[in-house]
Amino acid sequence: MEKKRLYIELENCIGCRSCLAACTQCGGHEQKNRNYVYDVNPLVNRQTMPLMCLHCVDPACARSCPAQAIQIHETGAVLSALTEKCIGCQNCTIACPYGIPKFDEEENLMYKCDLCIDRTKDGIPPMCASVCPSNTLQWLTEEEIAEKQQMHDLGNDKWVTSMPYLEGETNVKVNLPGILQGTTKLF
């Protein structure tokens, strides 16, 4: 089974929030979604962008956890806190450079995107990527991501996936908006 990654093409997002709804329906998610969709310039236009856990190679949340409750799966996914270990200190929410982990005060428990580990460990795309109607969220092999990278690389330092635009190496690859690069997409 070839290793696939979540790949986010930000400017495709149409703000339908299907990914949020789908997230609630994943086996291990207890009907609570773990991803976000933001208006880029809410008072002016309708452009939206999704934001979700980027699954850092060296995750700050796990580093800051006093209870070692945040485990990293062999696929590279950074998992939700183990229910029996999480002590509810919320260090992870402060440490995460992207503000991803959510905290349930009632249950005294942190929860976050686990890349639908019950699906992705068997090579099935995560819920959000399965339902995304605009190809914002894609589930791609390394070669396909390399191809995308080439396609969007304009050689003017304005491109594309992830580093150096993020705070560290991540397992999820993000493609910065083509709009900034002056490319127009045909759907």
Partner 1 sequence: MEETNVKVSKNSINNAFASHFAKSMFLAVSGIVILSFIGTRMFTHVDLNLYGYMVGTIVFLGGFFYRFIAWGERPPTKIIIKKGIKLLFRKSTPKTSAEHLATYRFIWNRGIYRWTQHVLIGWGCIVSCFVTFPLVFGWMYFTMAESGYYTIVFMGINLMTVPADGIIAFFSYNALNFSAISVIIGVCMALYRRLKNMQARADQNFLYDFMPLYLLLIISVTGLILTFMNVFLHGAGHYAMSLIHQYSVIVTLIYLPFGKLAHIPFRPLSVFARNYREHYGEKSMKECKVCGTGFVSTEQSNDVIDVLGKNDMEFNMKDGFNLAELCLPCRRKYRIARFSGFETHKVPVKEANQNAKG
Q: Examine residue 147 and tell whether it contacts partner 1 (CB under 8 A).
A: no
Question: Nearest to residue 111, comparing CAs of 31, 174, 170, 56?
Answer: 31
Region binding partner 1 by CB under 8 A among candidate stretches 122-130, 136-144, 146-154, 170-178? 170-178
Task: Write down the least CB distance from residue 8 to partner 1, Å.
Answer: 9
Task: Write down the least CB distance from residue 89 to partner 1, Å.
Answer: 4
Q: Which residues pair with 138 in a beta bridge?
A: 7
CB neighbourhood size of 99 (10 A): 10
Q: Examine residue 153 and tell whether it contacts partner 1 (CB under 8 A).
A: no
The answer to whether the beta carbons of residues 50 and 97 sit under 8 Å apart is: no
The answer to whether the beta carbons of residues 13 and 134 sit under 8 Å apart is: yes
Of 131 and 140, CB closest to partner 1: 131
Q: Examine residue 141 and tell whether it contacts partner 1 (CB under 8 A).
A: no
- φ, ψ (nearest 5 deg) of residue 148: -60, -45
Q: Which amino acid is at 81?
A: A
What are the residues binding partner 1 (CB under 8 A)? 10, 17, 20-21, 23-33, 36-43, 47, 49, 51, 58, 60, 63-68, 79, 83-85, 87-91, 93-100, 106-109, 114, 117-118, 165, 167-168, 174, 176-177, 180
